[in-house]
Amino acid sequence: MRNIISFLSMVLLFVGIAGPSLAYSQRDLLQKKADINRLKEVLVMNQKWVTYPAYSDRQGWDTLFGPSKDIYIRRGESRLSYSWKVIKATDYLEFAKSGSRKVMENPFEDNNNAVTDLFLAELAEGKGRFIPQLINGTFFYCEMTSWALSAHLGIQKDKSSLPDYKEQIIELTSGDMASAFSWIYYYMKPEFDKVTPLIAERLRSELQKRILDPYVNNDTFWWLKATNNWNVWCNFNALETYMLLENDPDKLARAVYRSMVSVDHFINYNHEDGACEEGTSYWGHAAGKMFDYLQLLSEVTDGKITIFDNAMIRNMGEFISRSYVGNGWVVNFADASAQGGGDSPLIFRYGKATGSKEMMAFAAYLAQGKVPAMNGRDIFRIFKTMQCRDELIQTKGELSRAPYSWYPETEVCYMRNDVFMLATKGGFNAESHNHNDLGTFSLYVDTIPLFIDAGVGTYTRQTFSSERYTIWTMQSDYHNLPQVNGFSQKDGGQYKAKNTRFDSAKNLFSTDISGAYPKESAINSWVRSYALGKKGLQIKESFKLEALLQPNVIHFMTWQKPDVSTAGKIVLLVGKREVELSYDAKEFTASFELVALEDPRLSSVWGKEIFRISLQAKEMKKQGTYTYSVTLK
């Protein structure tokens, strides 16, 4: 029962169910482009939409792989003696037992990478050297009960963490592997048939059973109407698998239209402003995977169904270029990491399709004249990266340095000048991958994080369950926020910001975060405002309380160890600069604590520790104003 509850909680969190706070506009951009009958007229049949070389076209593959050819061959060579790893029943069950996902995922991911390494090496070399081991991998996967992750098996009617042989489900990894094996079938079937036709026949049968049939016949997959990255991710894989395998025009049109209806749910939920509420490092899985879907849909309809001229689609793309701080650092609300910067070929392709020179220049800036040889199970992106490589390298790189980026519907705002970059947010506490963080901010000095969002640790069963907000990284007390009357922010769609505004003339962002706290906190209003100037940041809190329960505490999370020895100011060393956080010593007592980072997902970004500064109010009062400033010494 606990596992069922955990999975249902995960679904609610992923979908972002938040009652009246849901942003949903019935745009239906794709459905307005074509119905099933129109699709039958425009779909490019029999895989004639594929623009990559034939298996035997050695010159074509040499050109496509370019300077990366030897890298792909060496990767394949490293897999020639690979021992396929059996995922045991206890590996699956460990998710329900301890909450660990990695026990199952690590060996599975090794197998996944081995399959694609062998496949790409064979395309690169074309001598048949990698085919026997690729057949081993293909046969191994055909014998598996499921290609789904243990953490996602709650989609099954049987809610255990063990794959149910009676039911095939489509989720992120099963879809990815289906797409990869569809490409393997497309290119390798003639070569497999030279050994025995049973191999390709079996693979085709498994893809029918695991993906093609469930996709059109199962209406219970929650992601079909989801508003987060699962929607576009799963639909992209289904579309690609269908287009590589199915040649019946009626069946194909039905499946493609089903994908369009589903993806419209994702687009309808997103705001016109284009911000990705799942966080910057999820952009590639959300807006980025939506772009992959839209690009594939355009290709398989010979350009007849496209929405790349829509301003909202472009805005969704440019969010990634605006969210980049510099030197690998990005703004990271929600479950996103503070490091990353994005997939430069994906960003470049998105920018080219939507006419965004900003995105193309940003992608070139990230690439720095080099496009790495991608690996992993996303064959579509690997092929597309090869196709755009030369053009990307030849493009001049440049960062967006807009003085501000304001996303009024998502309630996210960025401001920057020559020294500082500030990121602030309002919103509500049931966003996809939500943290209880209304009113928080991140501040960067010379692109170095100063006041931070720690991010999220390694995913476990608890991460997407009813236990989510017992994890410290999700709590408002570990964000740059106040604890009011002894109360922290609560999770749920009813906990939302009010009157969120941005004044571009004053570089001033403000939001009333009182609605993020429970009624028991006795808050009438708590307006937090940020003003960024050339000399630094001014933060102001104006509040009214109905009752006095406990002293207010203002928290600041920082990467640098603070010096609180002088009343009224806290000194932090950022690079070679000293920065002061000034406060009224008559109002507050300052202290700090070390927060040890034992989780590798956090320590790989921040190191072994971060720090939490606490300003505790000396006097309890029902209304008043707190002010703080952040300036260079």
Distance of alpha carbon 30 from alpha carbon 260, whole angstroms: 6
Alpha-helix residue ranges (DSSP H) falling in 196-248: 197-207, 213-217, 229-245
Distance of alpha carbon 11 from alpha carbon 159, whole angstroms: 13
Q: CB–CB of 130/122 below 8 Å?
A: yes
The residue with tokens 């026997």 is 132
Q: CB–CB of 420/536 below 8 Å?
A: yes
Q: CB–CB of 244/183 below 8 Å?
A: yes
How many angstroms separate the Cα of 108 from the Cα of each of 82, 183, 627? 13, 19, 52
Paired tokens of 461: 């069963």
β-pair type (609-617, 588-596): antiparallel
Coarse DSSP helix, strand, coil percentages of the chain, rounded to the nearest 5 percent: 45, 20, 35
Q: What pLDDT is recorded for position 6?
A: 45
Say whether pLDDT at 13 is over 50: no
Q: What pLDDT is recorded for position 22?
A: 52
Rounded mean pLDDT of 13-38? 72
The 8-class DSSP code of residue 563 comes to B
Q: CB–CB of 250/8 below 8 Å?
A: no
For each of the domains in the chain, give its residue range(s) and CATH number, in order of start. Answer: 404-632 (2.70.98.70)
Say whether pLDDT at 227 is over 60: yes
How many angstroms separate the Cα of 206 from the Cα of each of 95, 108, 140, 256, 583? 26, 18, 12, 20, 65
Q: What pLDDT is recorded for position 341?
A: 67
Q: What pLDDT is recorded for position 372?
A: 87
Paired tokens of 9: 């909680």
How many angstroms separate the Cα of 391 from the Cα of each of 58, 370, 526? 22, 11, 51
Q: Bridge partners of 164?
A: none
Question: For residues 12 and 444, which has the higher predicted lDDT (pLDDT)?
Answer: 444
Q: How confident is the model at residue 359 (pLDDT cuts 50, 70, 90)?
A: very high
Per mean pLDDT, which range of 130-144, 177-191, 289-303, 321-335 is the poorest? 321-335
3-state class (DSSP) for residue 414: strand
Paired tokens of 434: 């939500």
Q: What pLDDT is recorded for position 17?
A: 35
pLDDT tens for 406-442 read 999 999 999 999 999 999 999 999 988 999 999 999 9
β-pair type (553-558, 482-483): antiparallel
Rounded mean pLDDT of 13-36? 70
3-state class (DSSP) for residue 617: strand
Paired tokens of 484: 């009011």
Say whether pLDDT at 18 is over 50: no
137 contact partners, CB below 8 Å, separation of at least 6: 84, 111, 114, 115, 118
Q: CB–CB of 582/628 below 8 Å?
A: yes
Say whether pLDDT at 476 is over 50: yes
Please name which of 171, 151, 213 lies closest in space to residue 7, comparing C-alpha atoms. 151
Q: What pLDDT is recorded for position 400?
A: 87
The 8-class DSSP code of residue 310 comes to -
- Say how many residues make up the chain: 633
Say whether pLDDT at 613 is over 70: yes
Distance of alpha carbon 349 from alpha carbon 371, whole angstroms: 13
Other CB atoms within a 10 A radius of the CB of residue 295 amount to 18
The residue with tokens 């597309």 is 384
Torsion of CA 565, 566, 568, 574, to 10 degrees: -70
Q: What pLDDT is recorded for position 181?
A: 98
Q: How confident is the model at residue 23 (pLDDT cuts 50, 70, 90)?
A: low
Q: What pLDDT is recorded for position 401?
A: 87
pLDDT tens for 571-594 read 999 988 999 999 999 999 999 999
Euclidean distance between the first and final Cα of the chain, in Å?
57
How many angstroms separate the Cα of 317 from the Cα of each of 77, 261, 330, 360? 37, 21, 15, 11
Say whether pLDDT at 7 is over 80: no
Per mean pLDDT, which range of 336-345, 362-371, 548-557 is the poorest? 336-345
pLDDT tens for 258-317 read 999 999 999 999 999 999 988 888 899 999 999 999 999 999 999 999 999 999 999 999
Rounded mean pLDDT of 64-69? 96
Rounded mean pLDDT of 3-14? 45
Say whether pLDDT at 10 is over 50: no
3-state class (DSSP) for residue 255: helix
Q: Bridge partners of 510?
A: 501, 529
Distance of alpha carbon 415 from alpha carbon 325, whole angstroms: 11
How many angstroms separate the Cα of 119 from the Cα of each of 123, 124, 125, 351, 356? 6, 9, 10, 29, 34
How many angstroms separate the Cα of 259 from the Cα of each of 250, 253, 254, 290? 14, 10, 9, 11
Please name which of 421, 340, 327 lies closest in space to residue 601, comparing C-alpha atoms. 340
Q: Taking the CA of residue 349 as centre, how many other CA atoms within 13 Å lie in the half-sphere pointing to its CB?
A: 26
Task: Please give the model's pTM, rounded to 2 decimal places.
Answer: 0.93
Distance of alpha carbon 196 from alpha carbon 145, whole angstroms: 23
Q: Work out the mean pLDDT of the chain and round it to a whole number.
A: 94
Query: Could you give the percent of the chain with pLDDT greater than 70?
Result: 96
β-pair type (441-445, 448-451): antiparallel
CB-neighbour burial class of residue 375 (10 A; exposed 0-12, middle 13-18, buried 19+): middle
Q: What pLDDT is recorded for position 245?
A: 98
Q: What pLDDT is recorded for position 281?
A: 84
Q: What pLDDT is recorded for position 323?
A: 95
Q: What pLDDT is recorded for position 217?
A: 97
Say whether pLDDT at 483 is over 50: yes
Distance of alpha carbon 532 from alpha carbon 11, whole angstroms: 38
pLDDT tens for 31-66 read 999 999 999 999 999 999 999 999 999 999 999 999
Distance of alpha carbon 403 from alpha carbon 533, whole angstroms: 11
